[in-house]
Amino acid sequence: MSWGGAEFSDELAEDSHFVGKASSSVAFFASSGDDGAGASWPASSPNVIGVGGTSLELASSGTLIAESAWSGSGGGVSAYEKEPAWQTAYKISKANGMRAIPDVSYDADPASGYPVYLTTGTGSKAKGSWNTVGGTSAGSPQWAAIQALGGTAALDKFYTDKASTSTLKFFRDITSGSNGTCKYYCDARKRYDYVTGLGSPQTTRF
């Protein structure tokens, strides 16, 4: 789901649309937002996998040099959703019993984004031109593709895999970058953070 919006008091009733899906062979992914720190729904639903954003630094050959938190990545603590069991077991700091967002991350910075060929348009975005796009709206469907390839992506597995001694097989831990000035809640760090979650994927098998 490449969409989302501000949380609202009735969102818990809407979570039922995703019940039983995030920990089965069918998973819902939602972008965490492109406006920096702050929780959004449906990424905040405990039945949805929230996808935050990173920025890539690439060599001229295209190989990865570094990956950091993207300044536009949404994330934070839900005002309404209670902390799910798999986050409680992982012991996320400063969640205070509420749902932490996002769960995972993916490249979202337009500067290191994705080329799109336009079949219609005018001016600088004319038909036949290439444009580079980004946003967590791009990361969410790519995580859905990972689920389609591996068939094992699920919220409970993510947190178990991250806590295991084999964590580097599953996630690249993003430890630098920020999405705002809210200090702890805005800065990337080891283990889990409110900008990139558990990190970026290293596999299609979780």
Domain that includes residue 153, residue range? 5-109+135-201
For residue 164, tell me if it sits in a domain.
yes
For residue 90, tell me if it sits in a domain.
yes
For residue 121, tell me if it sits in a domain.
no
pLDDT band at 26; cut points 50, 70, 90: confident
Q: What is the pLDDT of residue 62?
A: 86
Q: Is 51 a residue whose pLDDT tops 90?
A: yes
The domain tally of the chain equals 1
Q: What is the pLDDT of residue 142?
A: 95
Q: What is the pLDDT of residue 22?
A: 47
**What is d(CA 186, CA 76) in angstroms, rounded to the nearest whole number?**
8
Read off the tokens for 152. 């094992």
For residue 182, tell me if it sits in a domain.
yes
For residue 118, tell me if it sits in a domain.
no
**What is d(CA 101, CA 103) in angstroms, rounded to the nearest whole number?**
6
Please report, for the domain that includes residue 21, its CATH number: 3.40.50.200
Q: What is the pLDDT of residue 178?
A: 98
For residue 119, tell me if it sits in a domain.
no
pLDDT band at 165; cut points 50, 70, 90: very high
Per-residue pLDDT reduced to its tens digit, 104-163: 999 999 999 889 898 988 877 788 888 889 999 999 999 999 999 998 999 999 999 999
For residue 64, tell me if it sits in a domain.
yes
Question: Which residues, listed in sequence order, are joined to residue 57 by a DSSP beta bridge?
Answer: 66
For residue 91, tell me if it sits in a domain.
yes
